[in-house]
Structure 1
Amino acid sequence: WNPPPPNILKLNCDRAVSNLSKASCGGVLRDSDGTFIVAFAGLLGTCTVVQAELWAIYHGLRLIKDKFISSHIIIESDSAIAVKFLNEGCPQAHPCYALVNHIVRMLGDFYKIECIHTLREANQVADGFAKIGFSIPEGVLSFNVPPS
């Protein structure tokens, strides 16, 4: 994981999908010093890998918006398809079209947003929160301190 530049926050998002297509999501927001700000994990139900990754980004942005933060945010995801959809658009016939458009509208609520693809190895903390999501009975939980 590489920290963002000073005065910029980084949201790392990830998903976990079981062999039965049961999905969960998670993510973590940190500052340029690597300081933990907030994280989330949640159970999504049945969906595709790309849908789960997009839901992770959605829930991360929703949490940031709900927690008062509207500064410059870098979103990192290890899903090249999700990043491409957010940066370049999603075909109208694609099953993710409505979700992508909803997220893109949310992006306008922030001062500045960058959506960047990262390698899975650099997204391990978010992956850990996504795996925690499998143990949550329903909904999405936020963490104001890192779990032990």
Structure 2
Amino acid sequence: MTNAFAFDAKKFDTAQLESVFFAPARAFAALSVDFTEKLVNAQLDATRAYTDTTLAQLHQLVEVKDAEGLRSYLGGQQQVIQDLTERMKGDAEKIVALQQDFVQESQKLTEGSVKQAQQGLQSATETATKAVKETASKAK
């Protein structure tokens, strides 16, 4: 007697496995890599800007030779702080926007994967039902 439910590797549908598991995993991995790249680049740009500002301020400080130069240097610090504050605000907004995009794209991928998995499950159920009916009719 043969087992009607035995696994037959020749009939195994790798396309279904690809569409349900591997394709969504690759899509999410690609999205994650893209997000990470954008995030790292934003952080590198911010670090470069802060470093350039700090070095420029140090160069100006080294050039101070008298009380008037020091007064001028200190007077300019308010503008530097204001510029850095604006830069930090813009950098934070950029990071938040990147995170929001990532979340939205992740949700779209998840919804698409769930829908595709449901369709695949329905198809597999129909195929299994058909096979059981055929096996049952042959057994009679």
TM-score (norm 1): 0.18
Q: Structure 2 length normalisation: TM-score?
A: 0.19
Question: If each structure's strand is expressed as a fraction of its own residues, which one has the higher value?
Answer: 1
Q: Which of the two has greater helix per residue?
A: 2
